[in-house]
Structure 1
Amino acid sequence: MQAPPVLLHSAYRDGAREDEGGPGEAHRVPPLSAAGPALILARSELKRQHEKIHRSAARNRRVPNTKETPWTSNTSTPSATNWLTCANARPSSGGIFDYDEKSRRLSEVNAALEDPTVWNDPKNAQALGREKKSLETVVDTIASLERNLADNAELYEMSKEEGDEDGLRAIEAETLGLAAQVEQLEFRRMFSNPADPSNCFIDIQAGAGGTEACDWASMLLRQYLKYCERKGFKATIEDETEGDTAGIKSATIKVEGDYAFGHLRTETGVHRLVRKSPFDSSGGRHTSFASLFVYPEVDDSIEIEINPADVRTDTFRASGAGGQHINKTDSAVRLTHIPTGIVVQCQDGRSQHSNRDVAWKRLRSRLYDHEMRKRQEEQQKLEDTKTDVGWGHQIRSYVLDNSRIKDLRTNVEISNTQKVLDGDLDAFIEASLKQGV
């Protein structure tokens, strides 16, 4: 079977040339004026999908110049796999479309999992299992696209020759389904950060403004829990400090799922709320702030050395709900990493021992993120560490009485404020990833 892109290419290119009066080379397609509406739609959709995948692949490889290389059914052409990927692409540019590298790594992971001794290290085995699932998602999707594109191109030629408009309508519907898969691959191609596939933590901190700011922080907590629910991520509130009157002063969410950090990392920054406060009897307009900080979970297999002498441990009584025991003992734990100033705390567990374990794991994750951001700063001179996310680093403005939410980095603006507060953040996140903010 010929490579799907070649079939698609000749299926529409030769027809286009004949429509324009040029000589068709291999598969002659009737002029559009003589074709039925289903033929026009099917041919147009096949062309659109071919060009979309062609553009996606071109970002990661050198593709043949189709204007200079007239592929025909008798021409020797690259395989579909080679067409979608490129051996000459730089490793750092491959991203989600680095099919060859991901296929090679999948073979390595499968071989490792077949080794009977792999379960001698359960944590490593579980990490390999997660990596296998992530790799299979990419490899299987591209392989499925390859097969379906080939089948559709073949059916297109058969239906065209037989004048089968029902068949052409079916091809059109099928290619619309392929379009959604291509869009998903296009989006995932933007996950080039090494930590993007990881689980992550979201720290939410209320700013100045008392009760209004605490209420805004709780609204953001709900918003991101709803977002995780929409995306199929598992979200767990690991730490929460209630406000004096309403809302929360701070909270930490753990998000588990495929590319959780990749989806959420651009949400780091200050979120501003403008509304008529329900806590103001005069109905005055108030401005409140809350900050978000998103960082990846560090896999246990990653070595991060922490000198215990660099960490100060403080214990105190938990302030949240949790029964009589949790509030009567110094079970809460706060760790301060003196060289970096990073502070983490945990108070949700019933014992100091369990809180200490969780706090140390979170500290390792924070130090990993600190190191990654330091390297990015050296390379790109970006101010991305948590200490740089001050109240001046505002990324999004929520003006509720004007029904307007605007991202100040990408200028994406949405008027359906309730939809956004209910977790529909896709437009903002996709735009920020595409623009590399």
Structure 2
Amino acid sequence: MLKRLAELSLRYDELNRRAQDPNLAKDPKQYKEVMREHARLSAAADAYREYRKLLKELDGAREVASAETDRDMREMAREELRALEARKADMEEALKTLLTPPDPLEEKNIIMEIRGGTGGDEAALFAADLFRMYARLAELKGWKYEVLGASETGLGGYKEISFSVSGKSVYGSLRWEAGVHRVQRVPETESQGRIHTSAVTVAVLPEAEETEIEIKPEDLRVDVMRAGGPGGQCVNTTDSAVRLTHLPTGLVVIQQDEKSQIKNKAKAMRVLRARLFDLEESKKQAERSAARKSMVGSGDRSERIRTYNFPQNRVTDHRINLTLYKLDQFMQGALGEMLDALNVSAKAEQLKAG
């Protein structure tokens, strides 16, 4: 661990020197990379300096404890030594966490896709509830969100809805939301008061920059058409809806929310780029060791991750066996405790895997 910390400290010093080079600012991409790595290593470099200082204090305390002849003074020195040893153990645990390799996607913005699954209208209504939950979380966190596309049902639900979320550590916070969310409650349309179980799938796609995913014009088929709304009615009377088909992968994105064909194509490209990026990242992860799959699961959309039980005001995450009896607050965006527990669990597994 000390060897790795020493290497990081040297790298941090090198980045410090590079950051002060006036020529660096002339290359915006390189400047961004240097400053991002500098910020990431800052905490580890500071902690390493504190740790080395503590080791010197420990050496001094050991010398005093062994050399002191006065009984009371020797006992005081031993007490100080015990306190320093405890502090050393705490610092080593903190340093291990800092040495966990960062996820390069941590700081990325995301595109979330929520789709009603088993349960028909009730699943669509819960999809709308989940969207509102994430929107409230975004407001609490100071993140921005934008609806990219939605397919509504007559009862106020969503067959599917996609939206972007941007801000600090969005992907790092929400990556574990991907999967199947199961709801247990009495639907408004249920006259007998019976509890129904429905399911909704959530996808969390790190949003890719144009430089990260190249989409060749010859790989893309663009179809324009008239936008349609619920019940077959027209949203507008111009051919503004856009369907993009990525020929190599067969991925299809349809965008029709905007009245402008240009705006619809731009939104569709964002979604397509995010899906292609997610596809690439999934392949990379599959190639890494199986140990990389942490306790919190793989993030696969077919995996049931959480149950929302409304009669009992209970939400349970099945990956970390955490149950909270405050579903009402949870649905208002108070996901902090759950998200923190998922991230702590993932980091612990990563450390275990080495």
Cα distance in 2 for partners of 1:187, 1:430 equals 14
Residue number in structure 2 paired with 1:334: 243
From the superposition, tell whether residues 267 and 278 of structure 1 become closer, same or farther in structure 2 (CA, over 3 Å). same
Residue number in structure 2 paired with 1:223: 133
Residue number in structure 2 paired with 1:86: 6
Residue number in structure 1 paired with 2:304: 394
Cα offset for 1:273? 0.4
1:426 corresponds to 2:329: no
Unpaired segments of 5 or more residues in structure 1? 1-60, 64-81, 88-97, 119-123, 162-174
1:201 corresponds to 2:105: no
Instruction: For residues 334-383 of structure 1, give each alpha carbon's deviation from its aligned partner in whole angstroms, at most 9, with x where no partner exists.
Output: 22223323222322333112221222233222212211111211224689
Q: Select the residue among 371, 377, 388 that pairs with 2:280.
A: 371
Cα offset for 1:146? 6.2
Residue number in structure 2 paired with 1:252: 162
Q: Select the residue among 317, 323, 326 that pairs with 1:413.
A: 323
Cα distance in 1 for partners of 2:196, 2:41 equals 46
Cα offset for 1:403? 2.0
Residue number in structure 2 paired with 1:38: none
My pick for the range that moved more, 273-282 or 308-317, is 308-317
User: Do the aligned partners of 1:241 and 1:319 also contact (CA within 8 Å) in 2?
Assistant: no
From the superposition, tell whether residues 106 and 251 of structure 1 become closer, same or farther in structure 2 (CA, over 3 Å). farther
Name the SS for the 2:269 alignment partner. helix
Cα offset for 1:191? 7.0
From the superposition, tell whether residues 186 and 415 of structure 1 become closer, same or farther in structure 2 (CA, over 3 Å). farther
TM-score between the two structures when normalised by the length of structure 2: 0.72
From the superposition, tell whether residues 398 and 333 of structure 1 become closer, same or farther in structure 2 (CA, over 3 Å). same
User: Do the aligned partners of 1:106 and 1:132 also contact (CA within 8 Å) in 2?
Assistant: no
Q: Let me know the Cα RMSD of the aligned residues.
A: 3.9
Residue number in structure 2 paired with 1:238: 148
Cα offset for 1:140? 6.5
Counterparts of 1:273-352 in structure 2, within 5 Å, are 273-302=183-212, 304-319=213-228, 327-352=236-261
Cα distance in 2 for partners of 1:187, 1:267 equals 23
Name the SS for the 1:396 alignment partner. strand
Cα distance in 1 for partners of 2:223, 2:23 equals 42
Cα distance in 1 for partners of 2:151, 2:328 equals 25
User: Do the aligned partners of 1:326 and 1:351 also contact (CA within 8 Å) in 2?
Assistant: no
Q: Select the residue among 57, 62, 86 that pairs with 2:2.
A: 62
User: Do the aligned partners of 1:318 and 1:347 also contact (CA within 8 Å) in 2?
Assistant: yes
Task: Number of aligned residue pairs: give it.
Answer: 308
From the superposition, tell whether residues 420 and 379 of structure 1 become closer, same or farther in structure 2 (CA, over 3 Å). same
Cα distance in 2 for partners of 1:316, 1:189 equals 52
Instruction: For residues 59-83 of structure 1, give each alpha carbon's deviation from its aligned partner in whole angstroms, at most 9, with x where no partner exists.
Output: xx237xxxxxxxxxxxxxxxxxx9x
Cα offset for 1:243? 1.7
Cα distance in 1 for partners of 2:228, 2:100 equals 41
Q: Select the residue among 243, 247, 271 that pairs with 2:181.
A: 271
Cα offset for 1:431? 2.9
Residue number in structure 2 paired with 1:70: none
Counterparts of 1:17-56 in structure 2, within 5 Å, are none
Cα distance in 1 for partners of 2:201, 2:113 equals 8
Q: Select the residue among 263, 266, 269 that pairs with 1:354.
A: 263
Cα distance in 2 for partners of 1:143, 1:335 equals 49
Cα offset for 1:402? 1.6
Cα offset for 1:233? 2.0
Name the SS for the 1:255 alignment partner. strand
Cα distance in 1 for partners of 2:34, 2:144 equals 18
User: Do the aligned partners of 1:240 and 1:320 also contact (CA within 8 Å) in 2?
Assistant: no
User: Do the aligned partners of 1:318 and 1:327 also contact (CA within 8 Å) in 2?
Assistant: yes
User: Do the aligned partners of 1:373 and 1:385 also contact (CA within 8 Å) in 2?
Assistant: no
Cα distance in 2 for partners of 1:113, 1:233 equals 33
Higher relative contact order, structure no. (Cα contacts within 8 Å, ≥ 6 residues apart)? 2
Cα offset for 1:231? 2.5
Residue number in structure 1 paired with 2:39: 136
